Structure 1
Amino acid sequence: MVLRRREGLFEVLLVHRPKYDDWSFPKGKLDRGELAPVAAVREVGEETGLAVRLGRPLDDQLYVVQGGRAKVVHYWVARTLDGDDVSAYVANREIDQVAWVPVDEAAALLSYARDRATLQQAVKRRRRTSTLVVLRHGRARSRERWRADDRFRPLLRVGEQQADRLVPLLGAYDVTRLVSSSSTRCVTTLVPYADATGRRVVTDDGLSEEKATDAGVAERIGALVDAAKRTVVCSHRPVLPAVFDALGLADAHLEPGELVVVHHRHGKVLATERHAVH
């Protein structure tokens, strides 16, 4: 992760690993079943003590490690959430130094050419972006077996588990605005994150299967993009093509519990990511 701040100078956070005597960006390994964005935020917290949120993704690094095994490392630009002071960091066997370094000095201090290339890309992408997460609700009861009003069709147990697993994923991007179709299966998908963060789910009939129109969806998504807040929009398979069209993107054909993270600036989509919880 390329964690950055600006205090007069544009600086990035680097760590020193005594085992290898090298300077690099904070990074680490995925736990079993963990998604890369969640692991990135967790590892930075463990290695530096800083809480962060992810921004625009950078190119993956791919290289060969000892034993001839290929290794892939995912990178994002990121910013701190609750302050960036690392003066109280306690050295350990894994990381013995953590330092904010001006970009020009960082290029010289980094031990690997691949990290210098990542730094160069991060500098080119230093302008802030906004985040809009497009989410399909978790797995729900079968439409054919549900005899009541379809708007109240609930999630299955597996769908509730998906909703729980969305909490750290949405948290990795520090989503602050929760917008949902008014249907139960969409609202319930966002409730665990709302409960965990103290946020409120804002429901909108115009994002439901029963009330959505292409023009109405385009207007709503346009307003959310213009607001430039870190937002998640939860809706239904039949409605999502209109959501993606409003963003100028092809329909992603999301499965239940799957999402696309859209990074945009001034109404222009600059990058997307796709993740799924199971």
Structure 2
Amino acid sequence: MPQRRDVVAAGAVVFKSGPEVLLVHRPRYDDWSFPKGKLDPGEHATVAGVREVWEETGLHVRLGPPLSDQRYPVSGGRHKLVHYWVGWAVSDEDVSGYEPNEEIDQVRWVPYEKALAKLTYPHDRETLVEARKLRKKTRSLVVLRHAKARSRKSWGSKKPDTERPLLELGHDQAQRLVGLLAAYDVTRVVSSSSARCVQTVQPFAETTEWELEARGKLSEEGATPEKVAKVVGELLDDPAGVVLCTHRPVLPAIWAAVGIPDEKLEPAGMLVVHHRKGKVVATEVHQRP
């Protein structure tokens, strides 16, 4: 018999000061758990996690460090795979006005120790224990390799390589990146000045109306380890979440500046550095938007 595919879902363990954690009650199962839900067709897990928290609780959240996946059996001989992140509300944390419905009839902020007792399932309690260690807010530096561009051969040697544009596939990838970058509360957009990098982050900048900062020192032609290290140091000191879009040959200098092992990124792939006070707390890689 062919193995059935997992049902894939995403959610967040959302904290506020205390620490208090956000729990939801599902009347259909009479259980207490974290807000989560299945991915829509073609939806990225990060986008689904943010969307599901909003749909189930009314809170707008942004994602912090990733947590261990959950995988457990469900009906029909299948398994559910749930991707979780630590989350923090970016809007009003008040849930007293939540209107109960057939899916979620209670939404509560619950102190940590009481939440451990209230959660229905052992795997949720394990996730909460893991999440508590990461509940303090971090900032995100999203290192992004530009989307799929025209090849150097097809572009021609007589044209400036800095003007080499994205392919149609690359433009599609750039559009899909908008939701991913928003999920990490990115509010600053820094890019190589080369056209293929600018075009990769342009849809996000235009959607959010954040300024797009194009820098020659992040291009293949202008980058040096010293220049890259200076830019990365500045961005790590910034209190905002930042996306930095550049080229594959420049990535090793970025990894060295951050102090993490080399990571191979595909076109439009990104590595999210979760950091606090100059210290890397966690990293995660997403290869396809």
TM-score > 0.5, shorter chain as reference: yes
Determine the structure 2 residue equivalent to 1:85: 94
Determine the structure 1 residue equivalent to 2:213: 202
SS of match in other structure, 1:242? helix
Separation in 2, partners of 1:124, 1:253 = 28
- Does the alignment pair 1:157 with 2:168? yes
Tell me which amino acid in the other structure corresponds to 1:51: H
Q: In the TM superposition, what whole-angstrom CA distance separates every residue of 1:218-244 from its partner, at most 9, and x where no partner exists?
A: 121122112242110000011111111
CA displacement at 1:270 relative to structure 2: 1.9
Show structure 1 runs of 4+ deviating over 3 A: none
Determine the structure 2 residue equivalent to 1:136: 145
Determine the structure 2 residue equivalent to 1:56: 65
Separation in 1, partners of 2:95, 2:24 = 11
Determine the structure 1 residue equivalent to 2:244: 233
- Does the alignment pair 1:5 with 2:16? yes
Deviates more, 1:65-74 or 1:239-248: 65-74
The two structures have a TM-score, normalised by structure 2, of: 0.92
CA displacement at 1:89 relative to structure 2: 1.4
The two structures have a TM-score, normalised by structure 1, of: 0.96
Runs of 5+ consecutive residues of structure 2 not aligned to the other structure: 1-11
Runs of 5+ consecutive residues of structure 1 not aligned to the other structure: none
CA displacement at 1:190 relative to structure 2: 0.6
Determine the structure 1 residue equivalent to 2:279: 268
Contact 1:131 1:228 in 2 (8 A): no
Determine the structure 1 residue equivalent to 2:29: 20
SS of match in other structure, 1:59? coil
Separation in 2, partners of 1:155, 1:106 = 48
Please report the RMSD computed on the Cα atoms of aligned residues, expressed in angstroms.
Answer: 1.3
Determine the structure 2 residue equivalent to 1:172: 183
Q: Percent identity?
A: 58
SS of match in other structure, 1:16? strand
Deviates more, 1:126-135 or 1:178-187: 126-135
Deviates more, 1:264-273 or 1:11-20: 264-273
Which residue of the other structure, out of 225, 228, 246, is the alignment partner of 1:217? 228
Q: In the TM superposition, what whole-angstrom CA distance separates every residue of 1:61-91 from its partner, at most 9, and x where no partner exists?
A: 1222223323221111111112112122111
Determine the structure 1 residue equivalent to 2:258: 247
